[in-house]
Structure 1
């Protein structure tokens, strides 16, 4: 899908669910990976993640469009357009938009990365697994207050 098709789709959803025209620009932004879309309060433009469309299809992407259009229309009406505002929550529920977007499959896999380091106490041999390297001189064992040694489990 191209930006022109997205623009028409957003305009159609705006008229169908909000009974108001979308008069600004809607584009895809391939850098959006942790979020489904975003609305800019200064330019009133909307960006949508193409990765959400590829991974979850048109139905979920339309819910993201409805979410961003809630921000858009409420902001232009000078009403509560932020996530915490009651106006936003009510309009989002009314039009059937999604509150949160789904996690992309490749992002979920990266969160499940194995541990790379193990900290071991020299006194009681208690082990602590860590994904990130840390300065062991600043910490002690939580069980016996002994000194910790760091070992790398695998090399990437």
Structure 2
């Protein structure tokens, strides 16, 4: 066997292995879900730029929230690493979450939770607030919604 044929035959499996170890494809979009005690309050679509950056803002009743971050593909990992900063602003002030974690491929990834005081009967004198929990989930999407789609 000629040396160049032998070298090509030996290199083919190595090239195949290298291709399989390449960084995973990043999702085209993400969806942020805000839940309170298991009930979905808001969803925010986030389009992912070519470099992996994303950001968005949303409102829920008298609260406003924003999220920005970046997907960082890593060779040999099935899903990209997510670096994010999330902010929730309401009558009780501003609270933030920031972290770096691996994004789940096909299911929602829990980003974190924030305690919250809820006033089910308004903030009238004598009304005791109830402790509640806001949870934030991020889920990969295959496509960004069209710009005219309602959010």
Query: What TM-score, normalized to structure 1?
Result: 0.27
Per residue, is there more helix in 1 or in 2? 1
Q: Pick the structure with greater CA Rg.
A: 1
Per residue, is there more strand in 1 or in 2? 2
